[in-house]
Amino acid sequence: MDKREILKRVDHTQLKAFATWEDIVTLCDEAIENGTASVCVPPTYIGRIHEQYGEKINICTVVGFPLGYSVTEAKVAETKKAIEDGAEEIDMVVNISDVKNGLYQKVEEEIRTLKQACGDKILKVIIETCYLTEAEKIAMCDAVTKAGADYIKTSTGFGTGGATIEDVRLFKEHIGPNVKIKAAGGISTLEDLEAFVAEGCDRIGTSRAVGLLR
């Protein structure tokens, strides 16, 4: 598989709690050099990246991350601030407790509210598959579709498990035609990258792709 085809789908990611500005600069320089889809970074660095790199780089950030249990109003405030600072893409975490409690309508409404806050920016919805049953995953496919989000995303990378081909296939079977798939978490080999692209993932969240494809 052509490495450029893979890299243009990669959200080049640095979300460690101890990420320094030097780490972020390295990430951004690698992203520009290799033509990745975006950099996915902590909200605290959005403004500084935007100031230094301007339109040369597409900034993705996270909201309600990594546990998802912030109230909707807090997630909306995070989203609006991120966009104001220069983010073009938002990866939100659903309220996993609400999912486990069967409050699917509430989760759908939160996603819809954040999509409204995003406007024309991209919203990706992290459902953290490692904590969900198959029925709950299917319910989230339905919620993400009905709420008008742009992507469903497997994982934060901070849970007990990451992306699997089986979950991607389940998503494909149950999402609407306007929803794309992002796989993230534990994607650590060239074979993984190729497999998830071949399976139809429009985006892959990983910190390792650039190094693997050098």
Q: Which residues does 176 contact at the CB level (< 8 Å), separation at least 6?
A: 145, 146
- Cβ-in-10-Å burial (0-12, 13-18, 19+) of 112 comes to middle
Residues annotated catalytic, as ranges: 91, 153, 182
Residue 74: alpha-carbon gap to chain centroid: 18
Distance CA 104, CA 59 (A): 30
Query: Peptide bond before 42: cis, by omega within 30 degrees of 0?
Result: no
